[in-house]
Chain A
Amino acid sequence: MTWWFRHPKADLLAGFASRALTADEQRTVARHLEACVRCRETVAELRAVEHLASNDQASDALLERILASRSAGGRAVLPTEDLTVAPRRRPGTLVAGLATAAALLTLLLIRGSREVSAGERTGYLRLDPPRPLPGALIHATYTPSAALQGFDSLVLRARFRRPSDEAYNRGPMQTRAAVLHRGSTGAHEGEFRLPDSVVFAALAVESPSGETVDDNDERLWEVLTADEARRPLFEALVQRERDLMGRNWAEGLKTVRTLSALYPDEPQAWSFLPTFERWVLGDRIADSLLAGHRRRFAAFHGRLAERNGLSSATVSGMLSYAIQIDDSAARSYWLQRLEREFPDDPDVLFRRENRLWHDDAEQKKDTGSYFREVEPVWARAERNRAPALSLMVHNALTRTVVAKDSAAMRLWIPRYRRVQRRTPDMAPYWGKLLLQYPTLRRVGMEWLRDEARLLAEAPDAYRPLTATTAEQRVANRAAAQPVLAELANALIQDGDTTAGLDTLRLAASYGWSPAVFLRAAQTWGALGDTVQALRTYAKVAADPGSAPGFGDSIRAVTAPQLSTARWTSWVRDARGEMRAAVLEGAVPRSLTGPTRLLSITGETRRLSDLAQGHVTVVAFWSPNCWFSVNDLGALQRIANKFSASGARVLAIVDHPFSDELRRILKEQHVEDLPVFYDYRSDTKRAFATYSWPDYYVLDATGKVVFSHSKLEAIPRQIAALLP
Chain B
Amino acid sequence: MGGSAISSDSPVHLDLVGRVAAGDADALAALYRLHGTALFRVARRLTASVEDAEDVLHDLFVGLPESMHKYDGRGSLIGWLKRVLARLALMRLRAERRRREVPLHEEMSQGPLGRATDDASRLDLERVVATLPDELRAVLVLRQAEGYSHHEIGALLGITPGASRVRLSRAVKLLSAALRGRT
Interface residues, chain A, with chain B CB atoms under 8 Å away: 9-11, 13-14, 17-18, 20, 38, 41-42, 45-50, 52-54, 56-60, 62-63, 65-67, 69-71, 74-80, 82-88, 94, 97-102, 105-107, 118-119, 122, 124, 216-217, 219, 224, 231-232, 237, 250-251, 254-255, 258, 261-262, 593-594, 682, 685
Contacts and interface: CB of A to CB of B under 8 A. Distances in A.
B78 to A, nearest CB: 13
A624 to B, nearest CB: 19
Given A53-B44, A71-B25, A78 B60 contact: yes
A258 B155 contact: no
A17 B168 CA distance: 13
B9 interface: no
Contact of A98 (B140, B141, B158, B168): B158
Nearest to B176: A42
Interface string B3-41: 000000000000000000000010011001100110111
Nearest to A43: B172
Contact of A52 (B33, B129, B179): B129
A52 B64 contact: no
A90 to B, nearest CB: 13
A98 B154 CA distance: 10
Contact count band on B: 35 or more
Contact of A49 (B55, B59, B84, B140): B140
A440 B64 CA distance: 69
B91 A77 contact: no
Given A76-B63, A232-B105, 14 more contacts: A10-B173, A14-B172, A42-B172, A46-B144, A56-B53, A57-B1, A62-B40, A67-B29, A79-B88, A85-B158, A94-B163, A105-B88, A262-B105, A594-B51
Nearest to A54: B41
Contacts of A76: 59, 62-63, 66
A74 B62 contact: yes
A66 B58 contact: yes
A59 B169 CA distance: 34
A50 B58 CA distance: 24
Contacts of B141: 49, 52
Contact of A18 (B33, B57, B143): B143
A270 B36 CA distance: 52
A83 B25 contact: no
Nearest to B29: A63
B84 A11 contact: no
A120 B24 CA distance: 27
Nearest to B41: A53
Contact of B105 (A88, A258, A593): A258
B156 A83 contact: yes
Nearest to A240: B104
B118 interface: no
Nearest to A257: B108
B168 A14 contact: yes
A686 to B, nearest CB: 11
A63 to B, nearest CB: 5
A633 B129 CA distance: 48
A330 B52 CA distance: 51
Contact of B32 (A50, A53, A66, A97): A66
A593 B59 CA distance: 10
Contacts of B129: 49, 52
B1 A77 contact: no
A67 B20 CA distance: 12
A224 B103 CA distance: 13
B158 A86 contact: yes
A593 B176 contact: no
